[in-house]
């Protein structure tokens, strides 16, 4: 039986060097994973083959008898290209449930690859286990799936593996991702009601313009007489909608698609983000989003041992507004040259004075991470308040517009009836 010499880290992060007997290198790696060890280097020893203890035989037998996940189409009908960022959080949540129970990361992934039911997560775990079973660490296996795991996640996992605090890192990372998910859900929920109101308002207007007014026009023409200006304007709008409405809709759709495609380009995204900062409601909301993304991401990265230079570069990629991202890139360069973070951010003009003051206090006291967490908590509440205000404003504007249009229609119809009635009396 071959003997393999290995160097690995145990659950406490300590480095262990020893030998293990196994039929093959792959079996040796599985055996180390079952022991809760993370392999660093495994090589076959050139010495004599030692007899394998009975308890090791039983462990290898159990690992061999366990079903392996197939990361190909034979295990699931979902192609690997279908994997995306949506699978990241559920996978990490399932992984931390097992690692906190005492299993190693590799063994946890193996169990998930055989037991998890959701097709995409099963495929993801199978792909990761295929790499881990060949000796790769979890962070390296994740690196082969850039569509699911970004560089920030990989660096955090790698930091946790190096320090032996993988569970703590996973817990903080999951909390960070859950906060981001909740923010996205709040934004979508806040936009759902105004979108519904606008759809209903559009339906009401189309009903009046395309169905009610043409019938009313026929009735008014049959009565004869001169119609008021408001009624003529309303009937003219109805005629225009019936004759040219389809062309107007097609033109608006074409313009929207063209604008969307232009926004996907870097110059278009930069220009539209600059416009958004000038809009009274969107501008403050964009600033709040930037501050929240900056404070949340940087605090998580620094708290988990990522160096300041790497943490700033990773944080920069989390800022969505391109104008703010470019300004933050310049600030990062100044920080790397030795300038204080708060002073460098003050030059950008993108961060409120109160945020800069809190960061300055954190830098002076050596407690930057707690200061960043306080900023993140404050701006989570600020964004919630802004979303509520935005929803109320949009809903109010839509309702007022509908009421005004319906009132105009009622006025035009009633004035026409009164004018025609008076002409008959004369």
Distance (Å) of CA 72 to CA 66, 94, 121, 127, 304: 18, 21, 13, 8, 34
CB 75 within 8 A of CB 119: no
| Same domain as 334, residue 282 | yes
The residues, any chain, with a CB within 8 Å of residue 177's CB and separated by 6 or more, are 88, 89, 92
Is 366 inside a domain boundary? Answer: yes
What is the pLDDT, as a whole number, of residue 52? 39
Give the CA dihedral 213, 214, 220, 224, nearest 10 degrees: 140
Q: How far apart are CA 118 and CA 59, in angstroms?
A: 28
Distance (Å) of CA 102 to CA 86, 189, 253: 27, 39, 56
**Residue 9 dihedral angles phi and psi, to the nearest 5°:** -110, 135
Q: How far apart are CA 59 and CA 288, in angstroms?
A: 54
What is the pLDDT, as a whole number, of residue 425? 52
Chain CA centroid to CA 55, Å: 46
| Same domain as 415, residue 330 | no
| Same domain as 367, residue 289 | yes
What are the residue ranges of helices labelled H in 339-367? 341-348, 353-365
What is the pLDDT, as a whole number, of residue 238? 78
Give the CA dihedral 25, 26, 28, 34, nearest 10 degrees: 170
Positions of the chain with pLDDT lower than 50, given as ranges: 47-76, 426
| Same domain as 247, residue 202 | yes
Q: How far apart are CA 316 and CA 150, in angstroms?
A: 13
DSSP-assigned letter for residue 210? I
What is the pLDDT, as a whole number, of residue 223? 64
Domain boundary among 65, 91, 113: 65
Rg of the Cα atoms in the chain: 32
Is 369 inside a domain boundary? Answer: yes
Is 128 inside a domain boundary? Answer: yes
**pTM exceeds 0.85 for this model:** no
Q: Which of 125, 177, 135 is nearest to 152 (CA)?
A: 177
Q: How far apart are CA 160 and CA 156, in angstroms?
A: 6
CB 112 within 8 A of CB 94: yes
Please name the helix (run of DSSP H) or strand (run of DSSP E) that holds residue 378, with its range, or none: helix 368-425
Is 162 inside a domain boundary? Answer: no
Q: How many CB atoms lie within 10 A of CB 270?
A: 16
Is 176 inside a domain boundary? Answer: no
Q: Which of 392, 358, 399, 391 is nearest to 375 (CA)?
A: 358
**Residue 146 dihedral angles phi and psi, to the nearest 5°:** -65, -20
Counted domains in the chain: 4
CB 113 within 8 A of CB 127: no
Q: Which of 356, 32, 14, 414 is nearest to 228 (CA)?
A: 414
| Same domain as 412, residue 372 | no
Model pLDDT for residues 172-216, shown as the tens digit of each residue = 888 888 888 888 888 888 778 778 878 887 787 778 777 777 777
Domain boundary among 123, 149, 175: 149
Is 166 inside a domain boundary? Answer: no
Strand order in the sheet with 38-44: 15-21, 3-9, 38-44
Is 175 inside a domain boundary? Answer: no
Please name the helix (run of DSSP H) or strand (run of DSSP E) that holds residue 167, with its range, or none: helix 166-207
* Token reading at 292: 């929240």
What is the pLDDT, as a whole number, of residue 229? 83
| Same domain as 204, residue 236 | yes
Is 85 inside a domain boundary? Answer: yes
What is the pLDDT, as a whole number, of residue 224? 64
Q: In which domain, by residue range, is 212 found?
A: 183-263+393-425
What is the pLDDT, as a whole number, of residue 63? 36
Domain boundary among 65, 88, 105: 65
| Same domain as 369, residue 284 | yes
Q: Residue 40 burial by CB count (10 A; 0-12/13-18/19+): exposed, middle or buried? A: middle
DSSP-assigned letter for residue 80? G
| Same domain as 397, residue 259 | yes
DSSP-assigned letter for residue 231? H
CB 190 within 8 A of CB 387: yes
CB 126 within 8 A of CB 107: no
CATH code of the domain containing 111: 1.20.81.30
| Same domain as 87, residue 55 | no
Phi/psi-derived region of residue 250, left when phi > 0, alpha when psi is between -120 and 50, beta in every other case: alpha
Q: How far apart are CA 29 and CA 235, in angstroms?
A: 80
| Same domain as 131, residue 100 | yes
| Same domain as 234, residue 211 | yes
| Same domain as 85, residue 53 | no
DSSP-assigned letter for residue 53? P
CATH code of the domain containing 36: 3.10.20
Q: How far apart are CA 335 and CA 344, in angstroms?
A: 6
């Amino acid at each position: 039986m071959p003997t393999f010499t290995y160097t690995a880290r145990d659950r406490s992060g300590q480095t262990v060097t020893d030998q293990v007997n196994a039929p093959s290198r792959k079996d040796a790696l599985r055996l180390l994973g079952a022991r809760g060890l993370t392999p660093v280097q495994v090589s076959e020893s050139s010495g004599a083959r030692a007899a394998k203890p009975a308890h090791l035989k039983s462990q290898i037998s159990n690992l061999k008898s366990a079903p392996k996940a197939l990361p190909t189409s034979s295990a699931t009908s979902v192609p690997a290209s279908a994997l995306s960022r949506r699978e990241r959080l559920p996978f990490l949540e399932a992984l931390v449930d097992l690692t906190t129970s005492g299993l190693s990361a590799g063994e946890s992934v193996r169990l998930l690859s055989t037991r998890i039911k959701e097709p995409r997560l099963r495929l993801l775990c199978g792909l990761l286990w295929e790499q881990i079973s060949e000796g790769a660490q979890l962070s390296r296996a994740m690196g082969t799936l850039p569509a699911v795991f970004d560089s920030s996640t990989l660096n955090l996992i790698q930091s946790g593996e190096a320090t032996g605090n993988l569970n703590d890192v996973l817990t903080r990372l999951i909390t960070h991702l859950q906060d981001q998910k909740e923010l996205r859900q709040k934004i979508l929920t806040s936009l759902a009601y105004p979108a519904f109101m606008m759809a209903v308002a559009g339906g009401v207007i189309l009903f009046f313009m395309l169905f009610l007014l043409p019938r009313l026009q026929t009735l008014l023409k049959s009565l004869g007489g001169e119609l008021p200006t408001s009624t003529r304007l309303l009937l003219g709008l109805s005629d225009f909608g019936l004759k040219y409405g389809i062309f107007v809709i097609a033109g608006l759709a074409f313009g929207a698609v063209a604008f969307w495609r232009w926004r996907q380009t870097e110059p278009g995204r930069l220009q539209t983000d600059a416009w958004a900062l000038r809009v009274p409601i969107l501008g403050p909301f964009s600033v709040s989003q930037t501050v929240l993304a900056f404070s949340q991401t940087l605090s998580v990265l620094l708290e988990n041992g990522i160096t300041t230079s790497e943490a700033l570069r990773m944080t920069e990629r989390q800022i969505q507004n391109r104008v703010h991202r470019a300004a933050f890139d310049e600030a990062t360069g100044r920080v790397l040259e030795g300038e204080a973070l708060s002073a460098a951010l003050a030059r950008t003009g993108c961060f409120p004075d109160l945020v800069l003051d809190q960061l300055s206090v954190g830098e002076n006291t050596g407690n930057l991470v707690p200061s960043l967490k306080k900023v993140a908590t404050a701006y989570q509440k600020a964004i919630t308040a802004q979303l509520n205000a935005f929803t109320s404003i949009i809903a109010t504007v839509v309702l007022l517009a509908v009421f005004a249009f319906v009132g105009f229609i009622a006025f035009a119809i009633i004035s026409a009836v009164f004018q025609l009635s008076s002409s008959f009396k004369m």
